[in-house]
């Protein structure tokens, strides 16, 4: 099965859950900015969670499907249509051979994830198919997609949801899915301002009392120069009690850094592996998908949680994934 790119949008790359175990070589994990939407798009089709998806930013890529394909779209609502018929998010969709998937006005969110049944056939580099834009490897030739690119999809994993395609062919609505649905848009909620919970970091006590209060009580805006490396914030200038020169140390996705200009940076998927700025905290991993869906000019606020609370939040999310997986498996017997 295959599809061809007819327009490439603002930034469209292939991503999976990232490459692990290479930070000592200076290679960060990368991967999907919104892990929840990526995983759900795959789960709804029976793909492995690590299967590559197409991550589209603010504007989607227009795609010609050369063969019949099952797809899902999760995350941001970029007004998708197939032959002028609106396409629902968070559920499987059947695309006939020769049909075009197009995108229009971005309604909500930033990043939309397209999964295809069987996944995209992309070579693995360091254990991952994710595109590493700055290094130029992974994904499709190590770059963003452009007009004329042709993507092959893998074999259909029909053993997981054996009746899914059959139900489409028996139905009367060729583009809309059956009972498969992931009501997880509330997980991202898109509410403004987004609340990001974080555990305090090693340099948190070095902030002035006024800066600590400002960080916890101020609504910050996403700066226009935010990207996959980090979300830069507009808000009050934060400062330390005393000037500090630090030796670079390890950072993680979700690290809150404070550069000399006093403006917060939230490190995201394509972050560096080490940094020399003060680390004020770590945003809980369950809230990073919400951060990934914030547009420039949209707002967020911060609140503190303990490490144990952050871990409990993650465990609850994983329970929801397991519950949904069981619900979809049970659909096979109905």
223-229 mean pLDDT: 96
Q: What predicted TM-score, i.e. pTM, was given to this entire model?
A: 0.93
Cα(first)–Cα(last) distance of the chain, in Å?
29
Q: What is the pLDDT of residues 59-99, one digit of tens each?
A: 999 999 998 888 999 999 999 999 889 998 998 898 989 99
Write the pLDDT tens digit of every residue in 302-313. 999 999 999 999
* 8 Å CB contact between 301 and 195: yes
**Residue 190 pLDDT:** 81
| Residue 244 confidence class, pLDDT cut points 50, 70, 90 | confident
Return the closest-CA partner of residue 318 out of 197, 129, 187, 160: 187
Per residue in 94-120, pLDDT (tens digit) is 898 999 999 999 999 999 999 999 899
Contact of 230 with 267, CB cutoff 8 Å: yes
Q: Which residues contact 279 (CB under 8 A, 6 or more apart)?
A: 201, 202, 203, 249, 251, 255, 256, 257
Token pair recorded at residue 60: 């989607």
Report angle CA 43, 103, 190 to the nearest 5 degrees: 60
Sheet of 108-116, strands arranged across: 12-15, 53-57, 108-116, 69-77, 92-95
**265 CB-near residues (< 8 Å, 6+ apart):** 230, 231, 232, 233, 256, 257, 258, 259, 277
Average pLDDT of the chain is 90
- Work out whether strand 255-257 and strand 279-283 pair parallel, antiparallel, or are unpaired: antiparallel
Given a contact cutoff of 8 angstroms between Cβ atoms, the answer to whether 37 and 74 are in contact is: yes
Residue 2: pLDDT band (50, 70, 90) is: confident
What are the extents of the domains in the chain?
2-187, 194-314
Q: Which CATH class is domain 194-314?
A: mainly beta
């Amino acid at each position: 099965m295959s599809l061809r790119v007819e327009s490439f949008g603002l930034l469209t790359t292939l991503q999976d859950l990232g490459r692990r175990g290479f930070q000592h070589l200076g290679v960060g994990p990368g991967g999907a900015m919104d892990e929840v939407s990526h995983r759900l798009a795959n789960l709804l089709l029976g793909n492995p969670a690590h299967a590559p998806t197409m991550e589209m930013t603010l504007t989607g890529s227009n795609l010609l499907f050369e063969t019949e394909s099952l797809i899902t779209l999760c995350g941001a609502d970029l007004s998708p249509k197939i032959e002028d018929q609106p396409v629902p998010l968070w559920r499987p969709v059947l695309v006939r051979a020769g049909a075009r998937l197009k995108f229009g006005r971005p309604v909500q969110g930033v990043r939309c994830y397209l999964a295809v049944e069987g996944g995209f056939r992309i070579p693995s580099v360091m254990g991952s198919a994710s595109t590493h834009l700055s290094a130029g490897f992974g994904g499709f030739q190590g770059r963003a997609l452009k007009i004329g690119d042709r993507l092959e999809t893998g074999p259909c994993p029909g053993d997981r949801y054996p009746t899914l395609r059959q139900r489409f062919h028996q139905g009367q609505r060729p583009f809309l899915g059956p009972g498969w649905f992931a009501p997880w848009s509330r997980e991202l909620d898109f509410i403004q301002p987004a609340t990001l919970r974080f555990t305090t970091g090693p340099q948190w006590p070095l902030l002035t009392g006024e800066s600590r209060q400002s960080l916890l009580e101020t609504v910050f805006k996403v700066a226009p120069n935010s990207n996959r490396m980090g979300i830069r914030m507009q808000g009050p200038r934060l400062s330390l009690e005393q000037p500090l020169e630090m030796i670079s140390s390890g950072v993680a996705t979700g690290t809150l850094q404070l550069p000399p200009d006093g403006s917060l940076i939230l490190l995201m998927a394509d972050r560096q592996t080490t940094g020399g700025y003060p680390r004020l905290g770590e945003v809980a991993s369950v809230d990073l998908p919400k951060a990934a869906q914030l547009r420039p000019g949209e707002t967020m606020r911060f609140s503190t949680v303990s490490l144990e609370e952050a871990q409990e939040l993650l465990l609850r999310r994983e329970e929801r994934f397991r519950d949904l997986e069981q619900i979809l498996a049970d659909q096979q017997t109905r």
